[in-house]
Structure 1
């Protein structure tokens, strides 16, 4: 009761409530992965890591629809907004059905490619993909309208249901199969839809968008889809390539390293969720936006430095506490992986900032260095340490170029103003 009284007296804003919710969701997702790592062991956890990576890939693909929905939920109003929402829901469902169908059809090939113990896990996962795309559009509406309470509920529902259902099946029925992981993920998509306003899916009367609006949506969708593809490559290609090139035991070790090292990226994501609608609204109102960028970059830089120092100072303690002694071989690489992830997280803030302003060069830059990272890992993978070093090189170059582009834009803006 005392805590509730303090919270009320402090008058926590919806944005702060959402940030706390995102931290709780990330903590729950971490707990989910950590428990799986301890229960399954390195070899079996490698299979689970493939499904978790597929979930991350799916989240980035669906994020295209969420960001497009969020941006135009700010810009469109009344009947135009209703028409837009009707169209985006239908397109999201179509893409979800297509992607999910492909995963189901090629389940056996995916099993062979990633050396997993079962193809059924891909079948179950593929069946849930359409639901995830609908969920992402739903979240995009909440994000754009800054309905952070509803947005928080969808994330909490997805995380809690996945955690409870998956671990419940494993512990109660003692089934340690990758199919159980897939069932838990599928179920979480259903709970993640709550709250969902079904009438908005098929409105009684949908107006046609005019050519200007349709062109704006199409352009932003294409460039956002391209950027989310680069996110998929940078964030997940290393785990999938390691699973392909290395034995299951080593792949499981690397999966634990990636999970711990990426904590800074998942924390950074909550700032991205707040950044996009804020920057779009400020631009719409004719106000300056750079101060918002500086604010969030400062937050991420401070968090990154703290995490890197902790990983450098107590690597074995962290590995042992989170995953157990079976994963201790990854301790020397922990701080190095955190450096690579931190540079990517900061670069990501710059890219989403310019994406919000309809400036797409940073998106292309991210695409180039995403491909560079994947290429470096494909050519240089003699050891897990070498894989991490290749990522540091690619991300250092990416951050340097993003900072140079920002400086160039600032100089250009000042010279334009002086004229």
Structure 2
């Protein structure tokens, strides 16, 4: 593991987790100033936005991979990047049109009478795609600290708008959703200004071979499948609770989900630096096993510690963060924390495999997710715990199958390493 990565990781942990604190302050403000039912609607719309925009997660991986691969040829890199930008904009407008066509169906799924929050969420997805595009350019330039700083600015600006619109002007969940729109527009202007200088094209006559586009398309498929799996399993719980149960139960469950996911977000902020560094190591012919060991170690340490904190102090955490009206969330909190800790480990492994262009894990993962979906289709949902149980079993199966398949596939390498270490 390089010293620069360790140094960057230190600052990223501080900056990004400061942003996480502000993010959770936003949730705490909303949890206290909105009714439990309105809070459930807000989080259901928010989580559905993450699911619908799941393909957005492919953008940073594709952009950063090819920016690093062609980092020594700036003109070629910038021309290729501008082609990617045009493609993303066109795809974004198509997605916008599709979402507007299905706006009534989205409202019916979430059982929301007013379509106003759905329209706001569609606009937010449109803006978030553009934001993610320019944000990924910073990642591709390996400007990890700058990337973390602008992410923190986004969260703090959003918190300010929430305080203004929800606390002082006493508006409801629509104002909370609009706060995200306003903050995204402001920060989008900032990162566009930063990246514009770097990606300026001075020679438009450079020819980009079609094989590169084919490679990008082939690479995008496992990336979208991987992040489709991760986003589905980590964000589908709240929309499902809102779909099967009423607003009050969704609000109670949302508070547990927000608290339970803290342990997941604390270490995974490093993935923005981890993924490009693994790609860069491959290009330089260096091993990335120390980086993987570092990421797994810090993820397990933080997640396990947080599980213990939640297990012993869950009622105190709920009361401190959301107030006594959410104490019923304790019924779900410990299991959500364990579930998201498992997802955290899976996320690290999947990111490593994507960076190394190893895709075998998708076969078993797709089968596991399909079986999980069947459980939702044919299972009877009597309480949010039934939804949580399926997600917990599915995530455990994902982790076990991935680890076992990895050991089986690379058993000869592992045996060779073991005997070398034992008898040397």
Tell me whether the two structures share a fold, i.e. TM-score over 0.5: yes
Q: CA deviation at 1:174?
A: 1.6
Structure 1 residues 271 and 365: CA distance shift in structure 2, 3 A: farther
The answer as to 2:33 corresponding to 1:39 is: yes
Secondary structure in 1 matching 2:285: coil
Contact 2:41 2:250 in 1 (8 A): no
What's the offset of the Cα at 1:269? 2.2
Does the 8 Å contact 1:41/1:326 carry over to 2? Answer: no
Secondary structure of the residue aligned to 2:316 is helix
SS at match of 1:146: coil
| Preserved CA contact (<8 Å) 1:99 1:129 | no
- Consecutive unaligned residues in structure 2, runs of 5 or more: 1-5, 420-424
Q: Which of 124, 128, 144 is 1:148 aligned to?
A: 144
| 1:235-276 per-position Cα deviation (integer Å, ceiling 9, x unaligned) | 122211111111111111111111111112212321221211
Q: Deviations over 1:55-100 (max 9, x none)?
A: 4336643121111111111101322211221011112112222222
CA distance in 2, matches of 1:135, 1:269: 20
Name 2:66's counterpart in structure 1.
Answer: 72
Residue aligning to 2:406: 406
Could you list the structure 1 runs, at least 4 aligned residues long, displaced by more than 6 angstroms after superposition: 199-202, 415-418
1:203-261 Cα shifts (integer Å, max 9, x gaps): 46443421332222111112111212112211122211111111111111111111111
Moved more, 184-193 or 126-135: 126-135
Structure 1, gaps ≥5 residues long: 1-11
Instruction: Give the structure 1 partner of residue 11 of structure 2.
Output: 17
Is 1:192 the equivalent of 2:187? yes
CA distance in 2 between partners of 1:208 and 1:154 (Å): 33
Q: Specify the alignment match of 2:285 in structure 1.
A: 286
Conserved 8 A contact 1:128-1:186: yes
* Structure 1 counterpart of 2:392: 392
Equivalence for 2:327: 328
| Matches of 2:273 and 2:26, distance apart in 1 | 25
- Counterparts in 2 of 1:2-401, with a 5 A limit? 13-57=7-51, 60-76=54-70, 77-176=73-172, 178-193=173-188, 194-196=190-192, 197-198=195-196, 203=201, 205-206=203-204, 207-378=206-377, 379-401=379-401
2:422 is aligned to none
Rounded to whole Å, the distance in 1 between the matches of 2:98 and 2:53 is 17
1:402 offset after TM fit, Å? Answer: 1.5
C-alpha displacement of 1:412: 3.7
For residues 158 and 219 of structure 1, do their structure 2 counterparts lie closer, same or farther at Cα, with a shift above 3 Å needed?
same
How far apart are residue 198 of structure 1 and its match? 4.2
Q: Distance in 1 between matches of 2:380 and 2:19?
A: 35
Contact kept in structure 2, 1:154 and 1:191, CA below 8 Å: no
Pick which of 93-102 and 246-255 moved more. Answer: 93-102
What per-residue deviation string (whole Å, max 9, x for no partner) do you get for residues 368-388 of structure 1? 333433433442422222222
- Distance between the aligned counterparts of 1:228 and 1:192, measured in 2? 24
Deviations 1:150-171 (A, max 9, x none): 2123212221221111221112
User: TM-score scaled to structure 1, two decimals?
Assistant: 0.90
| Contact 1:297–1:349 under 8 Å retained in 2 | yes
Question: CA 1:208–1:134 in 2, change beyond 3 Å: closer, same or farther?
Answer: farther
Give distance in 1, aligned partners of 2:34 and 2:128.
26
- TM-score (norm. length: structure 2): 0.89
Cα 1:373–1:267 change in 2 (3 A) is farther
Structure 2 counterpart SS, 1:174: coil
Count residues in correspondence: 406
Moved more, 403-412 or 350-359: 403-412
CA distance in 1 between partners of 2:396 and 2:340 (Å): 10
Q: Which has the higher contact order (CA 8 A, sep 6+)?
A: 2
| Alpha carbons of structure 1 residues 351 and 188: separation in structure 2 relative to 1, 3 Å | same
Judged with a 3 Å threshold, the aligned counterparts in structure 2 of structure 1 residues 209 and 310 are, in CA distance, closer, same or farther, namely same
State the secondary structure of the residue aligned to 1:13.
Answer: helix
The corresponding residue for 2:3 is none
Instruction: After TM superposition, give the deviation of residue 51 of structure 1 in Å.
Output: 2.5
